[in-house]
Amino acid sequence: MSTLAQDPSAVIVMTVSDPSPKWFTGRKKSTLIVARWVPLALVGLPVLTLLAIVIYPTIWMFYHAFQNTNMIRLFRNDWSYVGWENFATIFQSERFTDSLQNLVLYLTFGTGVEVLLGTIIALILYEVVKSNALRTVILILVVLPMMLPPSIVGVLWKFLLTPSNGAVNHALLNLGLISTPIEWFNAGISLWSIIIADVWNWTALPLLIIYSGRVSLPPAIYEAARVDGASGWKTLTRITLPMLKEVIAIAFIVRFMDAFKFVDLVYVMTSGGPAQSSELPAYIAFQRGIREFNIGEAAAYSIVIFAFSAIIITLFLKYLKKVLKSQSIA
Amino acid sequence: MARLSIEGLCKGWDFPVLDELDLQVEEGEFFIVVGPSGAGKTTLLRLVAGLETADAGRILLNGEDVTTVPPYQRGIAMTFESYALYPNMTVFKNIASPLVARKLDRHTIEQKVTAVAKLLQIDHLLDRKPGEISGGQKQRTALGRTLVADPKAYLLDEPISHLDAKIRHELREQFQTLEALHTVGTLYVTHDYSEALALGDRIGVMGGGKLVQTGTPRELFDFPSHAFVAQQLGQPGINLLMTSLTEDGGKTYLRSRDGNLKLILDEEQRQRLNGRSNAEVLLGIRPQHIRILAPRQKAPAKHQMVDARIEQFQPLGSMGIAITRAHGIDLKALTPPEAAHIGAQEVRLAIFSPAFHLFDPISGKRI
């Protein structure tokens, strides 16, 4: 401070002749901003973390899928190679084929309904609700369930669907829609209970994706449609939906990928029961590995799920790329 | 009876975009509205199309009041500045869309669309999607969609402003030759004065939410009723200088307020300024009425000589623009492009005085 006060020109010299402060450049030979090890460390730490929690376990899984590893053998270090035996066990078990059936049901009626409902609500929200404030309030309300942890959602719906005196049965009985309480957690119905809870939990995600897609469609096209004389229905089916096709596909893929690793609600609400009737493949893998310590078979399950989802998602992405290319977006 | 007539049209109360605007497009007329961006040109078109509702005033199509009629029942067709093509449909379907909405049979649609596509030279692109064609082709497609609708009036919103110069000229020619646009009535909006002068049967210059002046291109260019109109038309823009009227030795001069430029008025101009002695006058001189004289060249008839200095010269291919400074006043002059007036040079300017535009400095109106 004192030197500046003595020589005001010093300030000007510093700011004019040397606009870049000294700390951006090295003083002597090196012109590095930071030492050499810093970028390595910054990139290296995440890479190491990734190795530790993703890549190493994946390799480990692929290895043990072909071993007869269980918990005891794992600790004794005496597992041995069994070839494709684990996979054979899986594909021969009825438990697996049943769970595949459940998965197909869940994908069509869970994920499918979520995307369908999301699309409908998003478009109603955009086209029908004209007040911005009301729109915001509705969006917040709709998004709330998505913010709850799945375990809480599971417990919540378990309460709501309790056959005797659960809120849902109570309401249905009072409305006269049913005469006897629905046994929500009986075989054959329990999967549907999970699907209902999942739809409640996740509809908001496709809704948000599709809503933002609708917002970004150019208004001039809709004005052209009005001048052309296109009806509301035609505008929806010929303009809005075709233009949202990719966005809807993306929303579907996002939910689809989640569906393959969907375990939490099954675990909390039914534990796969009764009698394994509401199990999904990922839940069996979890059961076999973490609960029953049959690590080899669980690893094989994981690979099967991985392969299924990889194939389907690759097909999806291929389709998406084709669509985007035809509109010369990608 | 006019094709399209607009009476006292208003939009917006606190900050009016359109303020009691009147306009008439006659049968078969190509009417161009030109004005700076933000003047409300597009709003005017959108009101005529029915995409926005008027706050006051009437819109008549063929004598029928359509002010509150929904867009598609008005029988108009509009092209949009952004083309507004349906990206998921082919060029064919895009052009066909107004016909499909009217539920015409497939054979008629096909006939009409191919005819229009041929006319616009896009018949080889009918299977492509808008993402796969160029900007000029997109504009032709949008134009095709408008032409095929066979409307009572065409509305064109800056249809060629965003295309590159070469295609713009091609399409400009096309607008002149397209018969349909010259048989019913076309309202064309642009900010490009040269488009307006080249294409318009009549032009309206828009400013302050109204049409400041309407008339044929020549009328507007040669006799602008307002300094604003003179400013809007012409590139480079008109030289406007504030002057005051002075009498000296039996002659009437306009003396520039800044600097010391003195220009003599002729008898006719003096008559016009009668009773305004010592008043202020806004003087407009078009750049093409200022010539740079070669050394020792005599001033042509009816020209006045002024000493000046060339500050800047832009050769533009077919012409050159010289920015000169004469007695402290900047004057732009159009010159032949070969005249290499590089660097500061002392020259003499010859100014064609009969083409002076005189405006009232306060109201801006022509005197």
Which DSSP symbol is given to A24? Answer: G
Per-residue pLDDT band for A81 (boundaries 50, 70, 90) equals confident
Nearest to A328 among B82, B89, B132 (CB): B132
Which DSSP symbol is given to B302? Answer: T
Per-residue pLDDT band for B81 (boundaries 50, 70, 90) equals confident
Task: Give the H/E segment covering residue B321.
Answer: strand B320-326
**Taking the alpha carbons of B53, B59, B65, B66 in that order, is the dihedral positive or negative?**
negative
The average pLDDT across A175-201 equals 84
Residue B113 with chain A: CB contacts under 8 Å? none
Per-residue pLDDT band for A5 (boundaries 50, 70, 90) equals very low
Which residue is closest to A330 within chain B, CA to CA?
A: B131
Least confident of B75-84, B153-162, B335-344: B335-344
The average pLDDT across B321-346 equals 80
Choose between A200 and B181: higher pLDDT. A200
* In chain A, domain spans: 25-60, 92-326
Question: B2 to chain A nearest CA, in Å?
Answer: 22
Q: What is the CATH number of domain A92-326?
A: 1.10.3720.10
Q: What is the predicted pLDDT for the residue at A6?
A: 47
ipTM at complex level: 0.80
Question: A197 to chain B nearest CA, in Å?
Answer: 36
Residue B73 with chain A: CB contacts under 8 Å? 229
Residue B72 with chain A: CB contacts under 8 Å? 226-230
Nearest to B51 among A221, A223, A243 (CB): A223
Q: Which residues contact A71 (CB under 8 A, 6 or more apart)?
A: A293, A295
Asked if pLDDT for residue A13 goes beyond 50, the answer is no
Among B201, B272, B193, which residue's Cα sits nearest to residue B229?
Answer: B193
Tokens for A97, please give them.
Answer: 């084929």
The average pLDDT across A71-100 equals 85
Q: Which segments within B148-289 are labelled E, that is strand?
A: 153-157, 185-190, 202-207, 210-215, 239-248, 251-256, 262-264, 280-285
Cβ pair B72:A228 closer than 8 A: yes
Residues of B at the A interface (Cβ-Cβ below 8 Å)? 46, 49-51, 70-73, 76-78, 80-89, 97-98, 101-102, 129, 131-132, 145, 149
In the sheet that B29-34 helps form, which strands lie side by side, from edge to edge?
Answer: B76-79, B153-157, B185-190, B29-34, B202-207, B210-215
| Per-residue model confidence as pLDDT tens digits over B40-68 | 888 899 999 988 888 888 999 888 898 88
Asked if pLDDT for residue A122 goes beyond 90, the answer is yes
Residue A238 with chain B: CB contacts under 8 Å? 86, 89
Cβ pair A327:B131 closer than 8 A: yes
* Domains along chain B with CATH numbers: 4-232 (3.40.50.300), 239-359 (2.40.50.140)
The CA distances from residue B274 to B45, B243, B284, in Å, are: 42, 16, 18
A/B interface, count of CB pairs below 8 Å: 75
Coil, helix or strand at residue B356: coil
Q: Which residues contact A236 (CB under 8 A, 6 or more apart)?
A: A123
Asked if pLDDT for residue A18 goes beyond 90, the answer is no
